[in-house]
Structure 1
Amino acid sequence: MQDFDDIYAHVPADIPAWIEGLSLAMTIDGADADPVALVDVIHACDEQVIAQSPDAGLHHVDQAVDAARAAFPAWAGAPWTERRNLLETFADRLWDARVTLALLIAAEAGRPLRRAMSEIFFAVDYVRTIAAQELAETRYELGPMRARLTHKPLGVVGAIAPWNGPVILAVAKIANALLAGDTQILRPSPFTPLSALYMGMIARDIFPRGVFNVITGDAQVGAAMTTHPRIAKISFTGSTATGRLIAAAAAPTLKRLTLELGGNDAAIVLPDANIDLLCDAVYRISLENAGQFCACVKRLYVHETVYDAVVKGLGERLRAARPGSCFDAATTMTPIQNRKQFERVWHLIDDAVDRGGAILCGAQRHGGAGLFVPPTLVGNVDHGVALVDEEQFGPVLPLIPFRDEEAALRDANRGEMGLGGSIWTADVEHGLRLAERMECGTAWVNQHGAFSAALPMPFAKQSGIGTDYAQFGVAEHSRMMLVNARL
């Protein structure tokens, strides 16, 4: 992670007043769109209102579609290099605005400011990496026939982004669609609208009017986008349950879909694993960010010979976590972003204990303000307990000892989700062989959640539809066309 300690010198004395001074607005056809109302944005570190966000009505969906459709022919006809260059300019402008964007993420998501700044760093890299992708033409010669396969833009694309990565999970959707030649309507999560609104305002001076639009709103707005007959595709990141609803709603219009859904990733720790490497990674990826990452370790299968060492190593790291204001450099613990999810995480902990689970570390209720759940390890649980069977999306990790690696692999492959998984071992070749047998879209050896926009992100089981990132994410925002001539 980059060293962004100097970011704390930029924290305004009055955050709500500073946000109000930004005059954040929805972007439709390159201009402000008047909201139907203002809605409160709650700061997870203290549950106080930190800002008010414009709220869209259903008519804003139609307005945004009209603007995007009007802009589509010229944008689709623009040279690939022109679209690429504008995306690179967008990345430059995001980096120039990194302090503002990081402060907005911290405010709306409650994330410690250093981690918020890290999200901007990776988001800018994602835009630049995706902008560099190509969709090559394929030529065929079959006797007297000469054919070529090309990629054509789809039209208007709807993007629905989640609250756990309000910038990085939005910009990948933006870059994929705009590079492919589509125009786009982005609807951020109603929990974290601020950074997306600001990105929309940045984009006005870069892209032609109507190419990129940002509207806010609740599930009704998302549903209107999903069923809209003039939106050609929906790209969604969120829960599997919501993904099922989107797939069903999109079926009557046969929309293209890219769905990055839930994960219940398993990690298998073999006897020869590097325990320090494992514990550092699990804490950083799965617990420090309060488990609010789709592809983090959510089930930890540990060989019985190293089980105690793993509990000890993780416990040392967990006990050092510090809750507090996200604008304080001493804070390392991230709160749960919203109260509904906060209550669900505690329910999973209480349910596990009621079913015989043992708290190995954590689980003390935070006495101060904010939606903090201390990083928690739970032992003596197995399949049949909700904490193991379901995606917790919180800083609570079940540790399950095993003796036989084949049995551990079978247990890791249980369930309906298949986003990611990992094997931890000093024998990398053996780890690779086991990883290839994991039923997931991405399997790692001696790492977890290590993504790059230069690498594809496939999905398995009910963790998603389609493939994201690299040239595959761009291709999913296009349609193939074959032109065939007889000589």
Structure 2
Amino acid sequence: MQTETTLDTYEDLLQAIVANDGGREISDPATGEVVGRAPEHTTADLDAAVDAARAAQPAWAALGHEERSAFLNRAADAVERSAEALARLLSREQGKPLNGPNARFEVGACAAWLRATASFELRPEVLVDDGESRAELHYRPLGVVGAIGPWNWPMMISVWQLAPALRMGNAVVVKPSEYTPLSVLALAAVINQELPAGVLSVVSGGRGVGERLAAHPGIDKVMFTGSTATGKAIIRSSADTVKRLTLELGGNDAGIVLPDADPAAIAEGLFWGAFINTGQTCAALKRLYVHEDIYDAVCDALVGFAGQMPMGVGLEEQNVLGPLQNKAQFDIVADLVQAAKDSGARVLLGGEPEAGQPGYFYPTTLVADIDNDNPLVAREQFGPALPIIKYSSVEEAITMANGLDVGLGASVWSSDPAKAREVAARIEAGTVWINKHGAVDPRVPFGGAKASGYGLEFGVEGLKGLGAPQVISY
């Protein structure tokens, strides 16, 4: 193990990860208060981390699946011991509240994903066994995996990347978002209490570090969650070294409410599908298509539910919605809502940030009577503003839902399961949920269609994506 120091308290975590000299100041997006200083690693630091990973990886791979799974389970224990400290740090750095499907939920998901990944069985697949010949498909470790994560779910998505990579016998070098490096540094410090040295490291640096990681000859695969534009840049940077890639890119998820749905019954699911993490989720519901027969009833039900959800500073226990994580994202949401208002769309709730308050708070916003080509619909807002579009026929709704070049997730809402499945099968998205939205499961593969990326995460298929397939034939 890398350290004998316990990291069970918030103060212990900060002491372990915050730069004493230099570094970059990280502020709480809810209050503007300084959380700590993140170390500013360089490309030389990245090179050293990759060298250490390459040195440690063969012995890690040699342990085998069972022993590596035992390490992951002990890492989950460590996360649970430090859960409250991790959640508090996450809330302060990212802005999400402690309660609701937010900071405590995210830390709990980290432990759950580690355990689930440790539990999956990956056995050789017998391809041919006809008495004369036998062929088996095996998966071998790739070597060193580079993981580049986002700022919206920094701990959980890092675990989505590092857990299967480690389980498959790879070493991992993580490059967190510049907005939320402390959360990922803290998570790695906790996990590294249980792992051999060099197997997992975090390099907290700027854009140049990310570009170097994508092109680094010592990195065998890159996993990335983030925007489509950055994903395209990673594809280009990785080309010369023919890296394997798993890319979970931007989404603008559609939800279709069929005319037989019960507005009151689906309001809560629609709300959390759209506003989980204050709308800052790649696979959140970002444009809602509602049949004209129940349009007003769905709008009313959503306003009634959304108006009860408290927004505020994350460390205040009553809140379940928080600020936008950064000023750039706040401006995107504000500009898109303003464009909708300027076009004549009807604001049902929110739409006006409170002047003079600290933090990047944008109120929960519902916008009705909006055209499908309005920027708030056509562009990914990634924040607490949901456009609600009226449709007349299911064919029209499917056409609009499929009309963009992204397809991460989608949902269909109906009282008729058979009809819902029929519509779901026609939507161009990696995952289509029925009467829920965004409910990921560590056992169920997850990935995007079209410009929302390629490759699968989670489950046995996710493990395979972190291995090199090898056929042994005899």
Instruction: Give your verdict on TM over 0.5.
Output: yes
Report the CA distance shift for 1:75/1:288 in structure 2 as closer, same or farther (over 3 A).
closer
Instruction: Name which of 282, 295, 313 aligns with 1:294.
Output: 282
- Taking only the aligned residue pairs, the percentage that are identical comes to 38
Q: Secondary structure at the match of 1:257?
A: strand
* 2:420 corresponds to: 431
Deviation at 1:320, TM superposition (A): 2.2
The aligned residue for residue 233 of structure 1 is: 221
Change beyond 3 A, Cα 1:405–1:333: same
- Change beyond 3 A, Cα 1:167–1:404: same
One-letter amino acid of the counterpart of residue 273, structure 1: A
Asked if the contact 2:75–2:193 (Cα under 8 Å) also holds between the matched residues in 1, the reply is: no
CA contact (8 A) 2:164 2:463 kept: yes
Report if aligned partners of 1:423, 1:446 keep a CA contact under 8 Å in 2. yes
Matched to 2:459, the amino acid is A
Match of 1:135 among 122, 133, 139: 122
What is aligned with 2:144? 156
**What is the CA distance between 1:221 and its match in structure 2?**
0.9
Counterpart secondary structure, 2:283 = coil
Q: 1:20 to 1:337 in 2, by over 3 A?
A: farther
Q: Is the 8 A contact 2:78 2:194 kept in 1?
A: no
Residues 1:378 and 2:367 aligned together:
yes
Whole-Å separation in 2 of the counterparts to 1:458 and 1:322: 32
For 1:317-332, what aligned pairs fall within 5 Å after superposition? 317-332=305-320
Is residue 266 from structure 1 mapped to residue 258 from structure 2 by the alignment? no
Is 1:181 aligned to 2:169, yes or no? Answer: yes
Structure 2 counterpart of 1:357, one-letter code: A
SS in 2 for 1:468: coil
Q: Report deviation, 1:47.
A: 2.4
1:120 and 1:167 in contact (8 A); partners too:
yes
Rounded to whole Å, the distance in 1 between the matches of 2:468 and 2:426 is 32
Deviation at 1:396, TM superposition (A): 0.6
The structure-2 alpha-carbon separation of the partners of 1:36 and 1:176, relative to structure 1 and needing over 3 Å to count, comes to farther
Structure 1 length as normaliser, TM-score? 0.92
Rounded to whole Å, the distance in 2 between the matches of 1:243 and 1:150 is 29
> How much does 1:144 deviate?
3.8
Determine if contact 2:253/2:284 at 8 Å carries over to the other structure: yes
Distance 1:366 1:50 in 2: 24
Give the Cα–Cα distance (whole angstroms) in 2 for the partners of residues 70 and 277 of structure 1: 55
1:23 paired residue number:
15
Of residues 12, 23, 30, the one that matches 1:38 is 23
Q: Displacement, 1:142?
A: 5.4
Deviations 1:48-107 (A, max 9, x none): 322111111110110000000001111111121000000011011101110011001101
Of 278, 287, 307, which residue of structure 1 is paired with 2:266? 278
1:57-456 counterparts in 2 under 5 A? 57-114=42-99, 115-139=102-126, 140-141=128-129, 144-367=132-355, 368-456=357-445
CA distance in 1, matches of 2:21, 2:47: 14
Distance in 2, Cα, partners of 1:435 & 1:408: 12
**Alpha-carbon distance in structure 2 between the residues aligned to 1:119 and 1:274:** 30
What secondary structure does 1:422 align onto? Answer: strand
Q: Is the 8 A contact 1:40 1:52 kept in 2?
A: yes
CA contact (8 A) 1:288 1:334 kept: no
Contact 2:175 2:210 survives alignment (8 Å): yes
Q: Name the SS of the counterpart of 2:313 in structure 1.
A: coil
Instruction: Check conservation: 2:79, 2:191, Cα contact below 8 A.
Output: no
* Gaps in structure 1 of 5+ consecutive residues: 1-11, 13-17, 27-33
Decide whether the 8 Å contact of 2:29 with 2:93 is kept in 1.
Answer: yes
> Which deviates further from its counterpart, 253-262 or 39-48?
39-48
CA distance in 1, matches of 2:265, 2:283: 18
C-alpha distance in 1 between matches for 2:158 and 2:265: 30
Shift of 1:285: 3.0
Contact 2:13 2:85 in 1 (8 A): no
Deviation at 1:35, TM superposition (A): 9.1
Partner of residue 472, structure 1 = 461
Query: TM-score normalised to the size of structure 2?
Result: 0.94
Q: 1:290–1:319: structure 2 CA closer, same or farther, 3 Å change rule?
A: same
> 2: CA distance between counterparts of 1:68 and 1:107?
31
CA gap 1:337/1:472 in 2 versus in 1, 3 angstroms: same
| Cα distance change, pair 270–337 in 1 and its aligned pair in 2 (3 A) | same
- CA–CA distance in structure 1, aligned partners of residues 61 and 310 of structure 2: 49
Q: In the TM superposition, what is the alpha-carbon distance from 1:277 to its structure 2 partner?
A: 3.3
Tell me how far apart the structure 2 counterparts of residues 373 and 412 of structure 1 sit (CA, whole Å): 26
CA separation in 2, counterparts of 1:276 and 1:92?
40
Offset of residue 125 of structure 1: 1.0
Secondary structure at the counterpart of residue 296 of structure 2: helix
Q: Are the structure 2 counterparts of residues 408 and 159 from structure 1 closer, same or farther at C-alpha, using a change threshold of 3 Å?
A: same
Give the secondary-structure state (helix, strand or coil) at the position aligned to 2:140: strand
Kept in 2, the 8 Å contact 1:283–1:314? The answer is yes
Distance 2:192 2:366 in 1: 46
Distance change in 2, residues 1:73/1:294 (3 Å)? same
Is the deviation greater in 433-442 or in 136-145?
A: 136-145
Q: Structure 1, residues 36-57: CA drift from partner, whole Å, max 9, x if none?
A: 9410112111223221111111
Measured against aligned partners, the alpha-carbon deviations of 1:259-285 in whole angstroms (never above 9, x if no partner) come to: 011111111111221223321012223
Q: In structure 2, what is the equivalent of residue 30 of structure 1? A: none
* Kept after mapping to 2: 8 A contact 1:157/1:182: yes
Structure 1 CA distance for aligned equivalents of residues 190 and 284 of structure 2? 31
Q: Return the letter of the residue paired with 1:480.
A: P
360-369 or 474-483, which moves further after superposition? 360-369
How has the CA–CA distance of structure 1 residues 35 and 262 changed in structure 2, closer, same or farther, with 3 Å as cutoff? farther
- Residues of 1 paired with 2:195 and 2:212: CA distance? 25
| The 10-residue stretch of structure 1 (314-323 or 397-406) with the greater mean CA deviation from structure 2 | 314-323
For residue 296 of structure 1, report the CA deviation from its aligned partner.
1.1
2-structure distance, mates of 1:24, 1:371? 28
8 Å CA contact 1:130, 1:172 repeated in 2 = no
Counterpart of 1:241, as a letter, is: A
Q: Distance in 2 between matches of 1:365 and 1:162?
A: 25
In structure 2, relative to structure 1, the CA distance for the partners of 1:19 and 1:285 (3 Å cut) is farther
- Alignment partner, residue 7 of structure 1: none
State the distance in 2 between where 1:293 and 1:205 align: 30
Paired with 2:314 and 2:394, the residues of 1 have a C-alpha distance of: 41
Partner of 1:315, secondary structure, is helix
Aligned CA distance change for structure 1 residues 174 and 359 (closer, same or farther; 3 Å): same
CA contact (8 A) 2:145 2:220 kept: yes
Gaps of 5+ in 2: 1-8
